[in-house]
Amino acid sequence: MLNQYYDIAIIGGGILGASIAYFVSAFSSNSVILVEKEREVASHASNRNTGKVHAPFLYDPIHKRMFAKAAFLGFQMVLDYCKLSHLPFILDGVISVATHDKGIDALHKYLEWGFENGLQRNELFFLDGSMISKFEPRVRCISAIYCTRDASVNYGAITRQLVLDAYQFGCRVVTGMRVANISSNNMKLELQLVSHNPRAKANSSSNVRPCYAEADLAINQPNESPTHELDNPNKNMDMKIYANYLINVAGGGALDIAHLMHVGHKYTNLYFRGEYWRAPKEYENFTKLSIYSVPKFPEYPFLDPHWIVRFDGSSEVGPNAVPVFGAYSYDLKNNIRFSIPKIIEIAKNSGIVKLLFNRQFMSLLNKEFMSSLSKTMMINRVREFLPDIKPSLFVTRGTAGIRSLLVDSSGNFMPDMVEIRNEKSLHILNYNSPGATGALPISATIVSRLLREGVLVPKNHSESVNRKDNWDINRIDSEIMNP
């Protein structure tokens, strides 16, 4: 068993965990380790998304205050980081359309939210049905909003670059290891890590990599595996690490980690798989912009499918919101594997039971499920505003992602991210869209606060690292916390 001691342990190798690792290792003298259960960082939501740098007009400045402010600040920070790291950042803009009368009221509300969240008058415009044809001739709608402050990136590549930079600043990284248990041991937290590869041989150490060499992170080749291995003299797949403080940003697994530390028990997760269909070559350059439709039922996490234009110019239709049993239920096999424990959990949770007796909610669930079974049904929802596309030409599914939505004991979906803290840990739950857009400012805020509270020790002049950026994390923290 390999024992290692760190000041800070970060659980989760998505874009939020990578961003926090970047700032902790850049601004503090503390020893830090990043633990990711998959063999690659950015294996889930951080690489299974639309790649949009979202403008904050979609987010209520009161109920989604943190997300809204983070999205506003995140745009410039993502732009800066992509330029400094030579990663793609396509400033393309977005149109949000109303295809029904109720949607017009929503668009006016989006305008108010956008300006309140910091957008300028020359960045957000209201368009009537005749004006929209000047921007996108193939779009049919009653009215729309056009926002210029929206972009397309590759969040998987950004995450991998952040981890590489954090490693170069001194952060150690373990992949392929899952946190099985957390306990307190002599004022330190003891994390038991086990191999996440069930087929791994007992005498193999190939899944344990506590640090990366530069070649290990294939920045432009997301499917390439790291090559370096840990020389573990005990040849044991399990390991323990000890930390003074834990930061839990494990995405779909964050609530499970919180429960291991006996916090967050009033919450549970519901999972929804967002599926896509790739547009065929016939539809290359079909539109210049991504087209979002106003959701008909915004109180529920069901998004009417959009027309997405990605950073590489390809287009997709999606997502729907298919209920599944686990945070990683991308296919039928995994969904079945997670089904029994989730059904038992649901039966014990009064809040979710209330949702299951809500007729409107169950009707929407059924429609989302049917859109997964019927390609035509899903594509036809986009034909409400792009009537010229033909479902028969769509033959390839896109990459599915899963949203983990937090539900409280009353059956309410939590609208914003939830932060739970105690003396030894910080847990970020319900970190959903626009989570990737806001990861850098949210992380800067977290690290600024931990430095101010004495959890982290600032680097002295001799320890300073060669950062690409010139971000002032204290200023970012002030802007996030004091809108």
What CATH number is given to the structural domain containing 482? 3.50.50.60
**Longest distance between any two alpha carbons in the chain, whole Å:** 71
The β-bridge relationship of strands 188-195 and 239-248 is antiparallel
Looking at the structure, do residues 192 and 247 belong to the same domain, yes or no? yes
Domain that holds residue 364: 269-409
Among the candidates 409, 425, 445, a domain finishes at 409
pLDDT in tens, the chain (483 residues): 445 899 999 999 999 999 999 999 999 999 999 999 999 999 999 999 999 999 999 999 998 898 999 999 999 999 999 999 999 999 999 999 999 888 999 999 999 999 999 999 999 999 998 899 888 999 999 999 999 999 999 999 999 999 999 999 999 999 999 999 999 877 899 999 998 764 433 333 333 333 443 333 333 333 333 333 333 334 456 889 999 999 999 999 999 999 999 999 899 999 999 999 999 999 989 999 999 999 887 777 667 889 999 999 999 999 999 999 999 999 888 899 888 888 888 777 777 777 777 888 888 888 888 899 999 999 999 999 999 999 999 999 999 999 999 988 888 888 889 999 999 999 999 999 899 999 999 999 999 999 999 999 999 988 888 898 999 999 999 998 875
The encoded tokens of residue 262 equal 């006996």
Query: Do 364 and 332 have their domain in common?
Result: yes
Question: H helices within 301-430, ranges in order?
Answer: 332-348, 350-356, 359-373, 375-382
> What backbone torsions phi and psi does residue 202 show, to the nearest 5 degrees?
-65, -25
Last residue of a domain, one of 361, 380, 409: 409
Helix 435-453 / helix 15-27 crossing angle, nearest 10 deg: 30
Q: Are residues 253 and 283 in the same domain?
A: no
- Residues 300, 365, single domain; the answer is yes
Determine the pLDDT at residue 88.
Answer: 97
pLDDT at 100: 87
Q: Identify whether the C-beta of residue 33 lies closer than 8 Å to the C-beta of residue 10.
A: yes
Q: Are residues 175 and 138 in the same domain?
A: no
Identify the H or E element spanning 115. Answer: helix 101-116
Instruction: Specify the CATH number for the domain of residue 286.
Output: 3.30.9
Inter-residue contact 36 to 17 (CB < 8 Å): yes
In this structure, what DSSP letter does residue 252 have?
Answer: G
Rounded CA separation 449/441 (Å): 12
Q: Are residues 399 and 348 in the same domain?
A: yes
**Residues 6 or more apart from 459 whose CB is under 8 A from it?**
26, 27, 28, 29, 465
Domain stop point among 393, 409, 425? 409
Answer yes or no: do 379 and 419 share one domain. no
Question: Position of tokens 């049905």?
Answer: 129
404, 424: one domain: no
Q: Looking at the structure, tell me whether residues 63 and 116 fall in a common domain.
A: no
Cut 0.85: pTM above it: yes
- Residue 213's pLDDT is 37
Rounded to the nearest 5 percent, the helix, strand and coil shares of the chain are 35, 25, 40
Both 59 and 144 in one domain: the answer is: no
Structural domain total, the chain: 3
Cis peptide before 434 (omega within 30 of 0): yes
Residues 6+ apart with CB under 8 A from 120: none
DSSP 146: E
**Measured distance CA(71)–CA(339) in Å, rounded:** 34
pLDDT for the residue numbered 193: 94
**Whether residues 314 and 350 fall in one domain:** yes
Domain shared by 128 and 250, yes or no: no
For 64, 109, 110, 398, the CA distances from 114, given in Å and listed in that order, are 12, 9, 6, 30
